[in-house]
Amino acid sequence: MLELITPTYNLHLEFLDLVAEYQQAGEFRMFDQNNLTLIQEDFSTYIQYLENNSQGINLKPGFVPATNFWLVMNSKIILGESQLRHWLVPTLEHRGGHIGYMIRPLQRSKGYGTTILAMTLEKAKNMGLSRVLLTCDQDNLASARIIQKNQGKLTSEGLWENSDKVISRYWIDL
């Protein structure tokens, strides 16, 4: 059974396992160092930090309220995470959009990326949004495919800051 839940203290050991999996896969940038320390040493504060982000409490300057979700199988395996930003600001319009997602390395290519976006779109609709912006690097073919399979319509492409990375932007009507 798959569910999209808000983060819970009860899955601390499972979350540590997920973090270790990213690290073993060489994907060190998924969590910044401050969060890593909290995840390992003070998980209840990490959960509270996510809850605060969702409620717009103690946000970093320029950040908007954002709700994190975990895609969980059978109430015990965390397959991936998504984040729903409650509204856009110019930086998110350029790159980031309303929703970001990731699937843990050993669970990829099984359709879960497509599922986590579909389930997060439901959450966005329930929150009252009527359409959402998704962005991805043009060369992130799996992510582009996920967005297209969720009825994303490509509306613009442009360079990321001073780099040669092209970002694709899609809108999805809810």
Ligand X SMILES: CC(C)(COP(=O)(O)OP(=O)(O)OC[C@H]1O[C@@H](n2cnc3c(N)ncnc32)[C@H](O)[C@@H]1OP(=O)(O)O)[C@@H](O)C(=O)NCCC(=O)NCCS
Summarize as ranges the residues that interact with ligand X (CB under 6 A): 100-103, 108-114, 136, 140-143, 145-146
Closest by CA position to 83, among listed 131, 129, 119: 119
Closest by CA position to 10, among listed 82, 89, 98, 70: 70
Closest by CA position to 104, among listed 39, 24, 31, 21: 21
Name the strands in the sheet holding 131-137, side by side, starting at the edge strand that comes first in the sequence: 131-137, 166-173, 153-159
Take residue 62 and report the two structure tokens written for it: 């320029």
Cβ proximity to ligand X: between 103 and 121 the closer is 103
Q: How far is the CB of 114 from ligand X (least distance, A)?
A: 4
Q: How far is the CB of 112 from ligand X (least distance, A)?
A: 4
Q: How far is the CB of 48 from ligand X (least distance, A)?
A: 25
Cβ proximity to ligand X: between 5 and 57 the closer is 5
Q: How far is the CB of 50 from ligand X (least distance, A)?
A: 18
Q: Helix, strand or coil for residue 112?
A: helix
Cβ-proximal residue to ligand X, closest one: 113
Cβ proximity to ligand X: between 7 and 113 the closer is 113
